[in-house]
Amino acid sequence: MSISFKSLSHIYNKDMPYAHKALDNINLDIKEGSITAIIGETGSGKSTLVEHLNALLLPDEGSLEILDYNIVANQKQKFLKPLRKDVGLVFQFSEYQLFEETVIKDVIFGPLNFGFSQQEAINKSIEALKLVEIDEKYFNVSPLELSGGQKRRVAIAGILACDPKIIVLDEPTAGLDPAGSKQIIDLFVSLNKTLNKTIIIVSHDNEMVYNYCDDTVVLSHGKVVYHGSTLDLFSDQKLIEEFHLLLPQIVQFKNELTENGFKISKEARTIEDIVGEVIKQVKK
Amino acid sequence: MKGLVFGKYIPIDSIIHKLDPRGKLIGLILMIIAVFIPKSWWAFLVIGLLVLLALILAKVGIKMIVQSFKPMIFMMLFLLVINSLTVKTGDVLFTIASVQVYSDAVFNTLFVIVRLMLMISITTLLTATTKPLDLTLGIEWLLKPLELFKFPTHEVAMMVSIALRFIPTIIEETMRIMDAQKSRGVDFENGSISSKIVSILSLIVPLFSVAFERAYELADAMEARGYVPGAKRTRYHILKFKYYDYIFIFICLATMVFSILTRIYL
């Protein structure tokens, strides 16, 4: 049970004069229970890749194994609904998918579609809304009256309420303030740690990627050019230059400390880790 | 939405793409007149060959044009049935279920079908090779004479171009919201009527709220950049007729004259 792309290609506008190969022979295994980041320049195929994960797009060549489902190119798929229940996709600017009269009605919409009973759906929804820290007093308010960050969290609750095994996030923090972003990222990290959900995050925010993601996939022109540990990626000068990566501040700080004679281990991720190591070395 | 060919601009480079939009609009009007006047197959043959030549020059692919005929098939069949039941002149060709089908019925239908197919090809050719914005510039220019009667040509052209500009955006937005709702288990294709209504609602409500938001943002942006309705405006791109535009218009004009002559003499 894992996520595994096998020679998968996807072509937009096939048979048109301006056909475009968005994904080109992707071979990729994403570990279950990990937090994996997918990064790459605009147009490198990130969104196309994640839309395959719950069969919004189907491969034109190759196949994708995910959980117990196997999606093969040019075959009619019969298990779309159970697959979409198990793989929750949180879209970019997901607040635009809200449409019901009240917050709670909007959140139970997903679970009801996936065949949960009314009571089960309500229970799951309340649970999900609590997870995203939406206060009970908002449950019967129209979602359109909430603030941007709250709307985003309600939309995320709508996905979490379906109880997915894999959660895919496409730029979950785009357009949010730092506090709102951190709240959302912390939520997914804790879902990963406590409930062992596999989390896949598409992001431009290398700070966030460096701080929270175990593994990173780098896409370029529809091809996977790197897949491995995030720490390895950001400590390899050659790779950083090759992919034109923006260095996270923490890494810049680590590099400066190293230049000044401190020995900072690769695993030091947060400012606390670094300070701890510096203190130890100063005390010696 | 993927089958939506009619009215879609195809961004490639060809002679037809380079033609002046005003010339193409005039050409369109002339050619449509040319298509609707004649009653002889000769005229259709000539027009058909010219359209085919233009299609090849525009490099848009015959396949695309054929695709745009698909929605018409039902209408054509309907027309054939109605004509077979009502038109009773000419020779009896064959009899189906005690209905005698006359030759004129078949010919009339064929005429209409050929005309429609030519017209769709010509308009698809125009929209496929002309950027929507250029098209509105062309329309604005053609409407110029109406300014004498205080007709707000510029404002109308601006509205048309904004509407055209946002069609792809709204389509994209629709696809995105559909995808988001599909991820929440909405099935847009199957299901009972009541569940279909809910799925459509889950699409339309967000679409409306996004559209309004965009409209406000656009209005603010236009105001911030000093847009005043009715003010005199200059242009960065100034349209200019080149020699090939005159050749193009001349060909279209000649075709129209030819088809009028076939109506008179053939």
B2 and B125, same domain (yes or no):
yes
- Interface residues of A toward B, Cβ cutoff 8 Å, are 15-18, 51, 54, 56, 81, 84-85, 88-89, 91, 94, 96-99, 109-110, 113-114, 144, 158-159, 162
B63 and B171 housed in the same domain: no
Give the helix/strand (H/E) hosting B101: strand B99-102
Per the domain annotation, does B140 fall within a domain?
no
A56–B183 CB contact, under 8 Å: yes
Is residue A146 within 8 A of residue A154, CB to CB? The reply is: yes
pLDDT of amino acid B159: 85
Integer Cα distance of A98 and A79 in angstroms: 25
Taking alpha carbons only, the member of B23, B28, B50, B201 closest to residue B123 is B28
Question: How many domains does chain B fold into?
Answer: 2
**In the predicted structure, residue B148 carries a pLDDT above the cut 50:** yes
Question: Same domain, yes or no, for B37 and B70?
Answer: yes
Based on the fold, state whether residues B2 and B114 are members of the same structural domain: yes
Identity of the amino acid at A187? L
pTM, whole model, 2 decimals?
A: 0.72
The residue segments making up the domain with residue A49 are 3-229
Q: Give the CA count within 13 Å in the CB-facing half-sphere of B4.
A: 9
Interface test with B, best of A11, A12, A14, A16 (most B CBs within 10 A): A16
Confidence label for B238 from pLDDT (cuts 50, 70 and 90): confident
With an 8 Å Cβ cutoff, are B184 and A110 in contact? yes
B101 and B157 belong to one structural domain:
no
The answer on B198 and B245 residing in a single domain is: no
Q: What is the pLDDT along chain A (284 residues), one digit of tens a residue?
A: 589 999 999 998 887 777 888 999 999 999 999 999 999 998 899 999 999 998 999 999 999 999 888 999 888 777 888 999 999 999 988 888 899 999 999 999 999 999 999 999 999 999 999 999 999 999 999 998 898 889 999 999 999 999 999 999 999 988 888 888 888 999 999 999 999 999 999 998 898 999 899 999 999 999 999 999 999 999 888 999 999 988 999 899 998 999 988 888 888 888 888 898 899 888 87
Confidence of residue B228 (pLDDT cuts 50, 70, 90): confident
**Per the domain annotation, does B70 fall within a domain?**
yes
- Are residues B185 and B54 both part of a single domain? no
Distance, in Å, from the CA atom of B200 to the CA atom of B54, rounded to the nearest integer, reads 40
| CATH code, domain with A15 | 3.40.50.300
Question: Touching check for B61 and chain A: CB below 8 Å?
Answer: yes
Identify whether B9 is part of a domain.
Answer: yes
Q: Is the pLDDT of residue B7 over 70?
A: no
Residue B82 clears pLDDT 90, i.e. is over it: no
| Residues contacting B264, CB < 8 A, separation 6+ | none
Tell me if chain A has a CB within 8 Å of the CB of B180.
yes
- Asked if residue A185 is part of any domain, the answer here is yes
Range of the domain at B179: 153-229
Q: Are residues B206 and B250 in the same domain?
A: no
Q: What percent of chain B has pLDDT over 70?
A: 97
Phi, psi angles (nearest 5°) of residue B34: -60, -35
User: Rounded CA gap, B245 and A227, in Å?
Assistant: 54
Query: Do residues B107 and B166 both lie within one domain?
Result: no
- The answer to whether residues B126 and B212 belong to one domain is no
* pLDDT attached to residue B252: 94
Answer yes or no: is A254 within a domain.
no
- Cα–Cα–Cα angle for A132, A138, A142, nearest 5°? 110
Co-location of B5 and B126 in the same domain: yes
Number of domains in chain A: 1
What are the residues whose beta carbons fall under 8 Å from the beta carbon of B40, sequence distance 6 or more? B262, B263, B266
Residue B173, CA atoms < 13 Å, CB-side half-sphere: 21
Average pLDDT over residues B66-85: 82
Q: Examine residue A240 and state whether it is found in any structural domain, yes or no.
A: no
Q: Where in chain A does DSSP place strands (E)?
A: 3-12, 20-30, 35-40, 61-66, 69-72, 87-90, 166-170, 198-202, 215-220, 223-229
Q: Tell whether B44 is covered by a domain.
A: yes
> Tokens for B187?
């099935």
Which of A78, A81, A99, A152 should one mutate to test binding to chain B, selecting the residue with the greatest count of B CBs within 10 A? A99
CA distance A67 to A4: 9
